[in-house]
């Protein structure tokens, strides 16, 4: 039993690693919920192999191939960040051994709700060299060792500042969001020493936020993202 997913950002070889990985993980999550094996195109596989080969397990569990003959085409809502319950949406087509659909802007965290922490760690595992660099090359390991819970924050500005569609990160939003996260982590996990790791495309702005705002409340450091 299969579900073939045409994934917009992957098949078209556009957007960045976040969009590509998010939508692949989403198809995998949908397939798990409706008890079908996910299929992606050969073109999608080649794009992932060429651009994101450092995710060594990303395509584990996927089949590679064309839309299965005789499969039922099922339209899927194309609304960014909205959630459509896969079980109720695809349930009416349960009798079909295979269905095919297209995922466009399918980016809701709710599709991951059945993933365990270990599922995420396994699926998003990097090559050993990159894992080592992430652990020791982006930020001082001693800084990370001094906390009992790490909160990673990605702040995007750059091309979003002039965008009429997307909202760029602002100091007010980032600080307020972190205060909410800190409270949730403290209440749920009993954390007493949180470490904030900032990642973003505007180092100067991020440093200002850390020095002028975050340092009042948190222990924070910056790790510059590699735009290549």
Last residue of a domain, one of 65, 90, 123: 123
**pLDDT value for 69:** 93
CA 68 to chain centre: 28
Q: Kindly report, residue by residue over 89-138, the tens digit of the pLDDT.
A: 999 999 999 999 998 877 888 888 888 889 888 999 999 988 887 777 77
* Residue closest to 197 by CA, chosen among 109, 138, 125, 157: 138
User: Residue 206: enclosing H or E segment and its boundaries?
Assistant: helix 203-209
Residue 41, classed as helix, strand or coil, is coil
Same domain membership, residue 105 and residue 153: no
User: 126-144: per-residue pLDDT in tens?
Assistant: 999 888 877 777 777 777 7
**pLDDT band at 228; cut points 50, 70, 90:** very low
One domain for residues 135 and 66: no
Q: Which of 123, 143, 178 is the last residue of a domain?
A: 123
Name the DSSP class of 193: S
Helix, strand, or coil here: 34?
coil
Same domain, 217 and 180: yes
Structural domain count of the chain: 2
101 and 23 together in one domain: yes
Sign of the four-CA dihedral 85, 89, 93, 95: positive
HEC-encoded secondary structure of 85-119: CHHHHHHCCCCCCEEEEEECCCCCHHHHCCCCHHH
Residues 145 and 65 in one domain: no
Same domain, 89 and 145: no
Cβ neighbors of 87 (< 8 A, separation 6 or more) are 33, 34
Confidence of residue 227 (pLDDT cuts 50, 70, 90): very low
Q: Give the pLDDT score at 74.
A: 95
Question: What pLDDT digit, counting tens, does each position of 7-33 carry?
Answer: 888 877 776 788 888 889 999 999 999
pTM of the model as a whole: 0.76
37 and 135 both lie in a single domain = no
State how far the alpha carbon of 100 is from the alpha carbons of 9, 28, 36, 67, 80, in Å: 17, 13, 11, 7, 20
User: Is the domain of 99 the same as that of 37?
Assistant: yes
pLDDT tens digit sequence for 44-68: 999 999 888 899 999 999 999 999 9
Question: In terms of residues, how long is the chain?
Answer: 228
Range of the domain at 147: 128-224
Pick from 19, 206, 159: which is nearest to 223 by CA?
A: 206
* Same domain membership, residue 132 and residue 114: no
> End of a domain among 101, 123, 145?
123
The residue written with tokens 């397939």 in the block is 31
Closest among 38, 93, 42 to 70, alpha carbons compared:
93
């Amino acid at each position: 039993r299969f579900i073939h997913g045409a994934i917009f950002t992957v098949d078209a070889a556009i957007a960045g690693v976040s969009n590509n990985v998010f939508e692949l993980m989403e198809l995998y999550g949908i397939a798990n919920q409706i008890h079908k094996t996910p299929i992606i195109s050969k073109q999608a596989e080649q794009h992932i192999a060429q651009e994101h080969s450092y995710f060594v397990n990303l395509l584990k569990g996927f089949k590679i191939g064309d839309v299965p003959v005789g499969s039922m085409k099922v339209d899927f809502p194309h609304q960014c960040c909205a959630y459509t319950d896969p079980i109720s949406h695809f349930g009416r087509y349960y009798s079909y051994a295979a269905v095919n659909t297209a995922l466009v802007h399918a980016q809701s965290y709710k599709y991951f709700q059945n993933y365990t922490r270990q599922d995420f760690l396994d699926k998003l595992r990097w090559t050993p060299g990159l894992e080592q660099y992430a652990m020791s090359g982006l930020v001082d390991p001693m800084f990370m060792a001094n906390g009992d819970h790490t909160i990673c924050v990605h702040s995007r500005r750059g091309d979003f500042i002039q965008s009429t569609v997307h909202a760029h990160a602002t100091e007010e939003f980032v600080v307020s969001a972190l205060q909410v996260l800190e409270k949730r982590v403290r209440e749920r996990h009993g954390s007493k020493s949180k470490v904030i790791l900032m990642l973003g495309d505007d180092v100067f702005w991020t440093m200002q936020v850390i020095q002028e705002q975050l340092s009042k409340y948190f222990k924070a450091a910056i790790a510059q993202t590699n735009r290549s």
